[in-house]
Amino acid sequence: METEATNAVTMTSQMKAAVVQRYGPPDVVTIEHLPRPIPGPNDLLVRVRATTVSSADWRIRSASMPYGFGFAGKLAFGFGVPRQPILGSELAGDIVAIGAAVRNFAVGDAVVAFRGAKLGAHAEYCCVNANTVVVPKPAALSYITAAALAFGGTTALDFFRRATLRAGERVLINGASGAVGSAMVQLAVATGAYVTAVCSGANVEVMRQLGATRVVDYTRADFALEGIQYDVIVDTVGNAPYARVRYSLTPRGRLLLVLATLPEMLRAPWVNTTSTHRIIAGPALERAEDLRTLVTIAADGRFTPMIDSCYPLDRIAEAHARVETGRKRGNIAVEMHQ
């Protein structure tokens, strides 16, 4: 009866949401009042407490895809206008209604969810399928910290798993100060790897605090010309293709292209077949097990997503602008005031 009553309320209630009706600069993001979503049989209706604006949100909103992926991007997200006008892939909040078939969650539970390409998190309420990437939020984690776990953390876990990262290996992370890069620094250190972080001079000390053994300021030195070899090189920026870094890889070295152009993606099978190197590319898997791992290690202090800044929903266009500068440190959070 409680669920039915709650669902009845949602049918006549509205919510605020950040809406993108056309591709363009940050000011295309507007705040609108929309009907609250109604959960289906397997859904959770989550009152969103915090979310983030990620580099993926920036690329979708501005239609700025990596080279060669323009058509694929429009095919996935909409040609004339965005197919899903509410962006946002990760959230933390409280369940206010559940579908009739849901058994593993209850109204009142605090949860963390990763929506991935389904998006929809930049709103006061969001429906999440209970059988997808959603897990309980421990009381030890703030909503803001919890909301910033998934985008960078699940990417890091998936790429390191595909690369079979081992303790004692030497890892270089290009773009170490972003949401994905800073997660990779921490998770590689936790694995027992020796991490070299590549970032701007302003972030050198932060990278050391995260556990990096060595930091390269890319404005002063080119890591690819130093003559040092690494077991794993991670490129989160898109400017370290195989041709540039091949001599910086050990004989069995792996290049992880978190951000890759289409030509680099197409080159990977050839390199993997004709050399002892491996190129690992392609989208990261979205797994509830990975989010559960991140929540667990964040709750006990072994992993903390970096937060650059936090904006209220009404100023989310400013959050987009901050992401678009390319100078953010970690994650850009958005906090709901309901």
Rounded to whole angstroms, the Cα distance separating 226 from 222 reads 7
Evaluate whether residue 185 is within a structural domain: yes
Same domain, 266 and 325: no
| 49: Cβ contacts below 8 Å, ≥ 6 apart | 91, 92, 93, 94, 143, 147, 335, 336
Q: In this structure, is residue 301 part of a structural domain?
A: no
Local confidence band at 147 (pLDDT 50, 70, 90 cut-offs): very high
Cα 76 from Cα 56, distance rounded (Å): 13
Question: Residue 297 CA to chain centroid, in angstroms?
Answer: 17
Could you tell me the residue range of the domain that residue 179 belongs to? 152-281
Q: Does one domain contain both 20 and 158?
A: no
Q: Do both 116 and 63 map to the same domain? A: yes
- Tens of pLDDT, residues 84-103: 999 999 999 999 999 999 99
- C-alpha 51: how far from chain center: 11
Overall domain count for the chain: 2
CATH number for the domain including 34? Answer: 3.90.180.10
Give me the percent of the chain exceeding a pLDDT of 90.
Answer: 89
pLDDT tens per residue, range 113-127: 999 999 999 999 999
CATH (domain of 158): 3.40.50.720
Asked if the model's pLDDT at residue 4 lies above 50, the reply is no
277 and 239 both lie in a single domain? yes
- Please give the pLDDT value at position 5: 42
